[in-house]
Amino acid sequence: LKASTEVKEAFQISLAKIVIKNSNDAQQDAFQLKPPDICQIYEQLDRTIKYGFWKDVANDMGYGKDAKWCSKYYTNTFKQALALEDFTKADKSKIESRIKELLAKNKAKDEILGECKKMFTNKNVFMNKIISFVHQRFYKLSQQHQELR
């Protein structure tokens, strides 16, 4: 999801405030928490506490964003702060090679995605980047594969 710097900052501060409110750790300062810390606190919250959570974040931040937008922005963008490793060119090259191998064996898209995700089970990489890359490369490489037939 695309967001202006102003919206990103508002989201981060609102998320931090709501996370602190729900974590019973009032000593924390929402303006001092870094994205990885905010994510870790959120991920540790009990599921019952998370009910209505994104609505609270949306109401706090404003900018016309709703709970659904906040939830998606967290999952697809903000949460990458938890990833300790970068998704490198070498990783992309390995994925592309694997997709080509699997296309040659006439494997389905879901199977190819699963195989590519398995390649990163021992790495702390933001999985959404991998999934997005696999979808993009699958589309392009499957078209090329069809043309070669």
For the chain, what is the mean pLDDT? Answer: 88
Say what the pLDDT of residue 132 is.
87
Nearest to 53 by CA among 101, 99, 27, 20: 20
Say what the pLDDT of residue 149 is.
59
User: What average pLDDT does the segment 81-106 reach?
Assistant: 89
Q: Report the amino acid identity of residue 26.
A: A
Give per-residue burial for 117-126: e unless 16+ CB within 10 Å, then b.
Answer: eeebeeeebb
- Which of helix, strand or coil describes residue 87? coil
Give, in degrees to the nearest 5, the angle at Cα 76 between 73 and 80. Answer: 105
What does the domain layout of the chain look like in residue ranges? 5-82, 89-148
Percent of the chain clearing pLDDT 90 (strictly above): 49
Say what the pLDDT of residue 76 is.
86
* Residue 26 predicted with pLDDT over 70: no
Which of the four pLDDT bands, split at 50, 70 and 90, describes residue 144? Answer: confident
Lowest mean pLDDT among 44-53, 83-92, 108-117: 83-92
User: What average pLDDT does the segment 89-104 reach?
Assistant: 93
* Residue 24 predicted with pLDDT over 80: no
Q: Whole-prediction pTM value? A: 0.67
* Residue 51 predicted with pLDDT over 70: yes
* Residue 97 predicted with pLDDT over 90: yes
Say what the pLDDT of residue 141 is.
87
